[in-house]
Amino acid sequence: MSDLANIGWMGGLAIYQRVIGTLGSALFARTLGATDFGVLTIVNTTTSSAYGLFRLSVDASLQVEVASRPDRVQQTLPYVFAGMVLLGIAGALAWMAVLMSAKWVAGSVYGSAPIAPMLQFAGPLVFAQCLCQFVYAVLAGANRFDIYARWTMAVSTIGLITSGAAAWWGNLQLVLMVMVVTQMINAVVLLRVLTVLIDWKAGIPSLSVSVVFAAARTLLRTGLPYYASGFVLIPVTYGLQGMLGQAGGIEAVGYQRILIAMCSVVGFLPHSIAGVVVSSLAAARGHGQPTDTIDRQAAITLKLIWLATVIVAIAVIAAMPWLIGLLFGAPYLPATGPARVACVAAVFASVGQVGIQDSVAARRFGIVLKMAVVHAIVFLLLGVALIPENLLFGYAIAELAAHGCVLVAVLVEQRARYKGRRSALAACIVLTALLATSPLWFPSGAAAVAISALVLEVILGGLLFFVLFSDAERAVVLRRMSTILRKRRTGRVKGNATGLADTTPLRRWPSGDPHA
């Protein structure tokens, strides 16, 4: 499957998931109330935090290993089998850890002991997430996003309908039970899909313990920087959310969920193609493409993501009061200001993440840990200083500063690749000043806000296009866009539209030595 088709599937999936997620959050906020909505947010955060701490980053390294062998897929089965075992064990351990620590987390971190029974639901949820991410990593590495996207869209729809019905009754426990059942079914079906694509019966008998052990050791070694970064950053993020809950009550955590929903809209494009970036660049190196060509394509991709994310952020920031009032209701309008700041942070986070994924594809895994340390230090220091007095606003400002520092650090770390670093940093500062202060100078009234946002889109979008891109890069982008549009009009879009090599489609995978 071509990169263009993969990006289309994952982009469509990302948009669909964010629409479903935003609608679900709006429904939960309106039906459950601020307190139960906050508890639901804590359960979701506990699930993702436990996953980050126990997965050992096997999923990320598994994707890179599969994608880096496009012409030798027979060598990937040991990695697939080792990844399944490791993530299965990680999910089981995370489940046990959540059950054992629920009372302590509820009382000591969030200052609300009664929520402990609800936190225990995070155990089976994180187990199911480990299994689902294992399948995603294999399909992402094999460039088969279409399979994952189709089924995930169906599960997202079913999950919204069933959990929405449970929320309509105002029963948080029933909502969590439905979420657990849905995710378990999702994991089972995805595993079944993978067994259809992989010839397990022919491959597993030929796998020796030493081969699988060597593959597992490689996955753990490759994923170590990811795990170390999670071990540094996750406790900081989780602890600051707990501080927010203790300072402003569980309701404040529910308000934080609104910030997450708005940021997901801003960052839908980078998150949707993160897997494509890793797979495409790793596959291109596997095919032996010149380093200069890959570096040029990676730089253009990052800058295009920056430009697109800024344009989306301006629209979301301008429409923020109407979006929150329409989706979540008038009681949540105080989250408007912090949500606008968080959207700027989402721009920095999205662009920085694409730059980090580029380094991962080049097997420069150390950058993951470096950026996590930068993020954790800035976020912790500012969060502790600002959250007790400023609550959600303090949390959003600390997050903005942390993601901004990470983005600057990524650009400095990769200054040899991203030419024009000073211009990029200057554009970063201009962007921060314009978007972070937008609530101060946006006029009142829907029509005036729409016109102002449109003017800002044109001015800032044009500014970034001419500041971020060199003359040669602008010519490449415009020529590529013209070619794609012309071929789309004639119905002749084929092959690879990004200039990177396609990976071999996933077929039947026999076993082999991972180090052959």
pLDDT digits (tens, 9 = 90+) for 362-418: 666 677 778 888 999 999 999 999 999 888 889 999 998 898 888 888 777 766 655
Close Cβ partners of 38 (under 8 Å, ≥ 6 residues apart): 245, 249, 250, 251, 252, 253, 254, 255, 257
pLDDT digits (tens, 9 = 90+) for 335-358: 888 888 888 888 888 877 777 766
- At residue 110, what are phi and psi to the nearest 5 degrees? -105, -10
- Check residues 277 and 497 and name the one with the higher pLDDT: 277
Identify the CA nearest to 18 among candidates 155, 148, 147, 156. 156
Distance, in Å, from the CA atom of 478 to the CA atom of 484, rounded to the nearest integer, reads: 10
Cβ–Cβ < 8 Å for 183, 151: no
Work out the pLDDT band at 493, boundaries 50, 70, 90.
very low
Residue 381's pLDDT is 93
Residue 385's pLDDT is 92
**pLDDT value at 84 more than 80:** yes
Residue 380's pLDDT is 93
**pLDDT value at 201 more than 70:** no
DSSP 331: G
Work out the pLDDT band at 443, boundaries 50, 70, 90.
low
Locate the DSSP E strands across 345-482: none
Residue 422's pLDDT is 56
Identify the CA nearest to 202 among candidates 515, 508, 505. 508
Q: Can you tell me whether residue 510 is helix, strand or coil?
A: coil
Identify the CA nearest to 100 among candidates 122, 133, 67, 76. 122
* Structure-block tokens of residue 52: 């980050």
Of 193-197, 256-260, 267-271, the poorest mean pLDDT is in 267-271
**How wide is the angle at C-alpha 349 spanned by C-alphas 145 and 328, nearest 5°?**
85
Close Cβ partners of 270 (under 8 Å, ≥ 6 residues apart): 305, 309, 350, 351, 353, 354
Mean pLDDT in the chain?
75
**pLDDT value at 239 more than 70:** yes
* Structure-block tokens of residue 91: 């999910």
Of 164-168, 246-250, 416-420, the poorest mean pLDDT is in 416-420
Residue 409's pLDDT is 82
Identify the CA nearest to 240 among candidates 120, 392, 347. 392
Separation of first and last alpha carbons in the chain: 26
Residues 234-247, mean pLDDT to the nearest whole number: 90
pLDDT digits (tens, 9 = 90+) for 461-491: 666 666 666 656 666 666 655 665 555 555 5
Distance, in Å, from the CA atom of 323 to the CA atom of 211, rounded to the nearest integer, reads: 54
Whether the CA torsion 264, 267, 268, 272 is positive or negative: it is negative
- Most confident range, picked from 54-58, 108-112, 224-228: 108-112
Residues 181-202, mean pLDDT to the nearest whole number: 80
Distance, in Å, from the CA atom of 200 to the CA atom of 458, rounded to the nearest integer, reads: 54
Question: Helices marked H in 198-290 — which ranges?
Answer: 200-203, 209-248, 250-266, 268-286
Cβ–Cβ < 8 Å for 505, 142: yes
| Sole residue written with tokens 């263009």 | 4
Residues 280-300, mean pLDDT to the nearest whole number: 62
Residue 60's pLDDT is 75
**pLDDT value at 498 more than 50:** no
Distance, in Å, from the CA atom of 380 to the CA atom of 38, rounded to the nearest integer, reads: 22
* Structure-block tokens of residue 100: 């054992």
Of 15-19, 176-180, 295-299, 372-376, the poorest mean pLDDT is in 295-299
Residue 160's pLDDT is 85
Close Cβ partners of 142 (under 8 Å, ≥ 6 residues apart): 66, 67, 73, 503, 504, 505, 506
Beta carbons within 10 angstroms of residue 402's beta carbon: 26
Please give the torsion angle defined by the CA atoms of residues 372, 373, 377 and 378, in that order, rounded to the nearest 10 degrees: -50
